[in-house]
Structure 1
């Protein structure tokens, strides 16, 4: 059977998926092992499969061949920090959170995002108890939900950014404070905290033992504070350069973790490459200093995909004007309105890095940070068939989740 659904057909036409079918994507380049591989991609039952046993053991042919027109197949983008989008704010729209997650998950696939962590900014305890149990596990035809990123409330009020100061807390009773605040840790994947706001850093180890990634951010921490937190299991820095002490040559603060020799493991760091939050020179410094840890995040807010005007981020009103988002009535930036595919292109241009690296900064690196690189952020055999088809300018042509086309750019 020959078919072309997936690159050059309208979205209202039937597009094949891999449920009980063997799909063969031809005339394409794959990103594998940090390089381009000229090979076909084979998909069945939502997974990427090795074609050799198909040929030699099963002796079957593909049910459907999809011509990719010489374009690039890459793993789907993974966004570890996104506050909302398309008019939805995850921390504010508590009464309609289910519909809100649905809207964002379906919208994100347009920019090539196949997995994400809905992010809750510093909020009242009641908000966590209301929202966390109601966030869906998955959304049909939408980006997958990896778990919640709780950005606060255990942050430093001196670096609160767009977070509501009257909701900020200190972890003064260890894990019981954390559990009391969130109500349950079952759905939480990442917690951003300021290490200097934690009375006993042993709580970081307790959280990582539960499979939660501990991120450092919105902080006045010194380098030594960051190193002590890393020794106890912290592995991520939240939006590098933003909401932390600026680099100083005598004490580089959390930024210094990129070059520290006192951390027992790789330190990852999110960075916002939206052309607003981080200067191109700062992007280059981060890239040249610690390439293995760099993760592109959008930090997108409800205004993603919307026109200029007044919106919300958590408890605070925000205003979008001249392509930037501010806390309403101030000059304080409060999140991005650039989609992930645009961030990848901006970063690649600013650093002049290999396009493969720019893509891996939004795929393989976040997957490694969350320790899910065997199934996400890769095109290796046995991994989830979450991938995107890109042109040479890194524009998204189509997005596939579990072997099903969930978005296709109109031709």
Structure 2
């Protein structure tokens, strides 16, 4: 399975299993390695380490040191930069003081991130972009442009798609709710303004918390070809109930949910990918094959890597998982080698 969004909160935090890069940047490589090795237990064979809105100097330090490959762990597809070009009104747990607009095209992007060669996905709010031609330039550079953390109207979203955007970040979350006069980014699922042959993909969090089962069914029945399961997992993934001081953000894990401590504000998922697959399959009644494809073939197609990932066709990478009838992971294989075996 391919995970396009396993992300952090606060300034530099790449998340999962208690990994925190917010303060000690010397642990970036070791932290990514820990996450990569841990993810195979939930059937993830490749992933996009995700950085949320951060100061420029954090990107300049972290991105060049992001490993390209981890021995014995899930493969790294490239970084998902979730911000900083988002709408402050839909910032979620992103730090408001680091949010930016793209006022000077690619020069703004290079000033913010430094070199772009480690980035595979950029989440941005289309209304934060003064010239949509920058989306075309990002696509030509091999970067998937995703729309999210946004107050965009449907027409804003359609314009971004015409310029090459092909993904929506965690559908329904951190965007305008569906409205019958202007459905916002959600309306892209049925828009008649999408260029011929183009599929708009969308990540959706099926953790049983962020997205109601009825909303999962609506998304599935409306636009199944574009549906991609993501966890949006934070650094509390794999941790027990209680308070965890991770970066500057104190998190409280309660009964499988992660909150900003002392509030009822959700701040990310703590459900692993295999659990999201099972929740989604039960909620929608889709076939087991479709549920698995939503976490394998669909993300690969979205990134344009379906010849190597997401299938077992001749010539593809030998990345696969073995599941039982209940979609529990029995073993995980990467490049034809077993990297995980269940003890059950």
TM-score (norm 2): 0.95
* Aligned mates of 1:91, 1:204 — CA distance in 2: 29
Aligned residue among 189, 205, 209 for 1:272: 205
Aligned residue among 127, 133, 142 for 2:73: 142
Query: What's the Cα RMSD here?
Result: 1.2
Aligned residue among 207, 229, 232 for 2:163: 232
| Alignment of 1:338 onto 2:262 | no
Q: Give the SS at the match of 2:142.
A: coil
| Alignment of 1:409 onto 2:333 | no
Aligned residue among 300, 321, 328 for 1:395: 328
Q: Give the SS at the match of 1:384.
A: coil
**2:51/2:81 contact within 8 Å kept:** yes
Provide the residue aligned with 2:89 in structure 1. Answer: 158
Q: Give the SS at the match of 1:295.
A: strand
Map Cα deviations across residues 50-91 of structure 1 (whole Å, 9 max, x no partner): xxxxxxxxxxxxxxxxxxxxxxxxxxx000000121111355
- Structure 2 stretches of 5 or more lacking a match? 8-14
| Alignment of 1:361 onto 2:285 | no
- Structure 1 stretches of 5 or more lacking a match? 1-76
Question: Following TM superposition, by how much is the alpha carbon of 1:387 offset from its aligned partner in structure 2, in angstroms?
Answer: 0.3
Q: Give the SS at the match of 1:257.
A: helix
Provide the residue aligned with 2:12 in structure 1. Answer: none
Q: How many residue pairs align between the two structures?
A: 335
* Aligned mates of 1:149, 1:226 — CA distance in 2: 20
Question: Following TM superposition, by how much is the alpha carbon of 1:94 offset from its aligned partner in structure 2, in angstroms?
Answer: 2.6
* Aligned mates of 1:238, 1:121 — CA distance in 2: 12
| Alignment of 1:253 onto 2:203 | no
| More strand as a share of residues | 1
**1:91/1:121 contact within 8 Å kept:** no
* Aligned mates of 1:191, 1:349 — CA distance in 2: 31
Question: Following TM superposition, by how much is the alpha carbon of 1:313 offset from its aligned partner in structure 2, in angstroms?
Answer: 6.6
Larger Rg: 1
Aligned residue among 110, 123, 131 for 2:62: 131
CA gap of 1:161–1:313, structure 2 versus 1, over 3 A, is: farther
| Alignment of 1:349 onto 2:282 | yes
Map Cα deviations across residues 364-402 of structure 1 (whole Å, 9 max, x no partner): 000000000011000111110000000011100000000
* Aligned mates of 1:354, 1:90 — CA distance in 2: 39
Aligned residue among 12, 16, 20 for 1:89: 20
CA gap of 1:379–1:122, structure 2 versus 1, over 3 A, is: same
TM-score (norm 1): 0.80
CA gap of 1:221–1:180, structure 2 versus 1, over 3 A, is: same
Aligned residue among 275, 281, 284 for 2:217: 284
Provide the residue aligned with 1:73 in structure 2. Answer: none
Map Cα deviations across residues 99-145 of structure 1 (whole Å, 9 max, x no partner): 10000000000000000000000011111111101111111100000
Q: Give the SS at the match of 1:85.
A: coil
1:27-42 to 2 correspondences below 5 Å: none
Question: Following TM superposition, by how much is the alpha carbon of 1:292 offset from its aligned partner in structure 2, in angstroms?
Answer: 0.2
Q: Give the SS at the match of 2:69.
A: coil
